[in-house]
């Protein structure tokens, strides 16, 4: 069964992160993130959103995946960290 979460809002030093997640069998099925943060290179953001699909809806798994993408894609996001994205997503998951 699919569950669509309410908005998860987290404010990092670099901006607001607003997450919406759909979960199925404990896994992230759909995810969308909106916010006024900065992230370079910008296109790498889509990889984060895409690669979180299919990940276990648990903080460690989510944060680990994002960290991995940060390293691989050489992401810089002043004032915003993988922890902040995970925090916003967890707030969505926890309602």
The contact set with another protein (CB under 8 A) reads 7, 9-11, 13-16, 18, 20, 32-42, 45, 76, 78-79
Dihedral of CA atoms 80, 84, 54, 2 in degrees, nearest 10, equals -130
Q: What is the DSSP letter of 56?
A: B
Which residues are within 8 A (CB) of 95 and not within 5 positions of it... i.e. 6 or more apart? 5, 6
Smallest distance, another protein to C-beta of residue 37, A? 6
Residue with smaller CB distance to another protein, 25 or 51: 51
> Could you tell me if 38 and 78 are in contact, meaning their C-beta atoms sit under 8 angstroms apart?
yes
Smallest distance, another protein to C-beta of residue 25, A? 26
Residue with smaller CB distance to another protein, 7 or 71: 7
> Rounded to an integer, what distance in angstroms lies between the CA atom of residue 39 and that of residue 77?
4
Residue with smaller CB distance to another protein, 41 or 54: 41
Residue with smaller CB distance to another protein, 18 or 56: 18
Smallest distance, another protein to C-beta of residue 26, A? 25
């Amino acid at each position: 069964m699919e569950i669509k979460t309410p908005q998860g809002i987290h404010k990092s030093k670099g901006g607001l992160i607003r997450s919406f997640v759909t979960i199925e069998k404990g896994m992230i099925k759909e995810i969308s993130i909106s916010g006024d943060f900065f992230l370079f290179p910008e296109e790498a953001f889509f990889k984060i959103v895409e690669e979180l699909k299919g990940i276990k809806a648990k903080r460690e798994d989510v944060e680990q995946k994002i960290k991995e993408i940060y390293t691989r894609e050489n992401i810089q996001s002043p004032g915003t960290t993988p922890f902040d994205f995970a925090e916003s997503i967890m707030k969505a998951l926890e309602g």
